[in-house]
Amino acid sequence: MEEYGSIEREIQVDAPPEVVYEVISTPEHLREWWPDEAELKPVPGGTGVITFGDASSPDAKVEPLTVVEADPPRRFSFRWVYDGPEAPGPGNSLLVTFDLVPSGTGTLLRFSEAGFRERGWEAAVLEDAYRDHESGWNHFLPRLVGYLDRLVAAP
């Protein structure tokens, strides 16, 4: 099961860390590349929800999230994919982290999503969840880069 520990990506983007930080941490920018709807307070302990699909539809996927770290323009992280009334933490949620490192005139974005094995899911559920999220990030991270390119190029 070692291979289902975390999803990690490094992406070079042609935008300064301050711009990248805004795009990964504020609802109005998140909606442009990731969920269909986003509501959150981008401060440590801030909570919110992201929605995939039409929020009025029963098929919409609504995920609560809780901000763990908000250190502009260096790091933004949150926990999501958790159930029940208890606060999200290791063992009951996934941790998404964006680390932003200045690189030339742009930013090296280090992305990770961790906590899959810690959820205690049975092997098939773990593998399905990991592959689903890996596929999702393979779709959404290039959209993030494209959105940043358009944002920076805008007059």
Per-residue pLDDT tens digits for 75-103: 999 999 997 788 899 999 999 999 999 99
Q: Quote the pLDDT of residue 108.
A: 98
Distance in angstroms (rounded) separating the CA atoms of residues 14 and 11: 10
pLDDT digits (tens, 9 = 90+) for 41-61: 999 999 999 999 998 999 999
3-state SS assignment for residue 113: strand
Distance CA 118, CA 93 (A): 8
Q: CB-based contacts of 33: which residues, under 8 Å, 6+ apart? A: 23, 140, 143, 144, 146, 147
